[in-house]
Amino acid sequence: MMREVQIYDTTLRDGNQAEEVSFSVEDKLRIARRLDEFGVAFIEGGWPNQTNPLDREFFERARDLDWTNARIAAFGSTRRGDVAPEDDDNLQQLVASSAPVVTIFGKSWTLHVTEVLRVSLEENLRMIEDSVAYLKEHADTVFFDAEQFFDGFNADREYALETLRAAARGGADLICVCDTNGGTLTWRLEEILATVRNEFQVPIGIHCHNDSGLAVANTLAAVNMGCTQVQGTINGYGERAGNANLCSIIPNLELKMGCRCLPEGKLPEITSVSHYVAELALIPHDHRQPYAGASAFAHKGGMHINAVLKTPVSFEHVPPETVGNERRLLLSDQAGRTTVYEKLQRLWPDLERDDPLVATVLAEVKTLEKNGYQFEAAEGSFELLARRLKGEAAKLFDLHGFRVMIEKHEQDADPYSEATIRIEVDGDMSHTAAEGTGPVHALDTALRKALLEKYPKLAQLHLTDYKVRVLDAKEGTATAVQVLIQTQDDADGAQWGTVAAHENIIEASWQALVDSIIYGLQRNGGDRPAQ
């Protein structure tokens, strides 16, 4: 029988405290709805105190929504020292949030009690017990987060345990022990949890930060020691080095530890959830992230690719589809015939392994890579290359010339960029000009302006990233450069990369830009000129 482990997601609070992350109310509601669909048990919406109107609005709006799987939790602290619970503003705001779950934190480290709160050790225990008991009168469920518990245990074992006893006396439904500083090593965490589990009958949860790079490992160890609730964030967002990453924890629990965290069939959504939250956070998704990253099941070495195609378990610890990801075979100077054949077969399923096209494409890839191309992150360019060599390349237009002009009139003035372009589409000539923040932006804008009337689906495509890499710095300003462009189709969210290399940065940018447009219009059926 699978063991049940509750997932308590704190992306909207702890994750929102990460550097460069700032969710709006709309962002929070969208993420909460997605997490509810995903099937987490609890979603911590934030801290609805007097200084946080954004979180108060979240709870006001969440109150009127229907939640399928998750229960919304409000977060706050114990009452202030020498203040009755009914007179404490923080506790009153928690009650006013109408959240079905309230989570409060209290201090378990004597250092924090005496030096940060500046109350007596006895008063801190009363604050914990009083606050939990008061909230139990007004909320369905109350969780207690024992902040700095592991540091507190190391400093004063008995006092740290006494804070847990105070929460239990107050009636806490669950006590979550927190490695708030993220400095506890796994073996020590297990020792301390063994002591906790031997004394307490109330359910125990775990909340880890990643300052030692051990948040995921410590969380899994805690579950192995009997913890029944896991607190963490999507993508590990959080203060300093972040929180425990639920996108690694959940697959490990479900696939490797025999635990049930989500409703049946929901685990394959974890990759899309990871990308969804990253998109709303406006943070590039970590392609090296375990399970959910684009590189998690990417294979580059020729021998690795050959082996994984014969026996996937030889180089994949779980099937990629179990977490909604996919296997990627990277083209590189290490790529062999097998890699190219497998990629071509996705385009033409009936292609035979000994088809001459395989050798032709492989030879061209090797030649281009010697000249500075890299196809690992540019599968759009690879597909267009293969189609050209097979005689299936789409031709959207004929170029009759372009000019890019950059002017700077004064020392402190910004440079001015303008591009003009002449192209022919289906017998019709077009001559356009456009300004831009730089020469490549101006060229991109002019080209789109010339093509949009004939190819209206071009409006759905937009560049998401533009990178330039110097290939050989020894040549100085005369060196060749590699340009990598990432493009997205807003209609379905699909993204692809295109690449080019040349001694002239404008020409390299032009080639990669044209490839990105041709590939995008080909894939969305917009490559036929409108009449």
The secondary structure of 320-350, three-state, reads HHHHCCCCEECCCCCCCHHHHHHHHHHHCCC
pLDDT at 334: 55
Mean pLDDT of the region 333-347: 77
- Which range scores top for mean pLDDT: 266-275, 282-291, 349-358? 266-275
Closest CA to 162 of 203, 128, 186, 131: 128
Q: How far is the CA of 384 from the CAs of 109, 378, 521, in angstroms?
A: 61, 10, 12
pLDDT tens digits for range 289-313 = 999 998 999 887 767 777 887 888 8
Q: How far apart are CA 203 and CA 176, in angstroms?
A: 8
Residue 305, C-beta contacts closer than 8 angstroms, at least 6 positions apart: 299, 329, 335, 336, 338, 339, 342
pLDDT at 491: 86
pLDDT at 332: 62
For the chain, give the percent of residues with pLDDT over 70: 96
pLDDT tens digits for range 471-510 = 765 555 557 888 999 999 988 888 899 999 998 999 999 9
Position 513 pLDDT exceeds 70? yes
pLDDT at 253: 98
Q: Report yes or no: 204 and 196 within 8 Å, Cβ to Cβ.
A: yes
Give the other-Cβ count within 10 Å of 503's Cβ. Answer: 13
Q: What is 298-356's CATH topology?
A: H-NS DNA Binding Protein (4.10.430)
Position 259 pLDDT exceeds 70? yes
Domain range annotation of the chain: 3-281, 298-356
Q: Return the CATH superfamily for domain 3-281.
A: Aldolase class I (3.20.20.70)
Closest CA to 162 of 123, 112, 125: 125
Position 285 pLDDT exceeds 90? no
Q: How far apart are CA 128 and CA 441, in angstroms?
A: 58
pLDDT at 518: 92
pLDDT band at 205 (very low <50, low <70, confident <90, very high): very high
Mean pLDDT of the region 14-19: 94
For the chain, give the percent of residues with pLDDT over 90: 69
pLDDT band at 376 (very low <50, low <70, confident <90, very high): confident
Q: How far apart are CA 292 and CA 268, in angstroms?
A: 10
Q: Would you give the distance in Å from CA 321 to the centre of its chain?
A: 18
pLDDT at 480: 82
Closest CA to 155 of 214, 211, 205, 108: 108
Q: How far apart are CA 322 and CA 261, in angstroms?
A: 14
pLDDT-wise least confident of 84-98, 345-359, 469-483: 469-483
How many residues are there in the chain? 531
The encoded tokens of residue 407 equal: 């002017």
pLDDT at 411: 87
Q: How far apart are CA 254 and CA 273, in angstroms?
A: 16
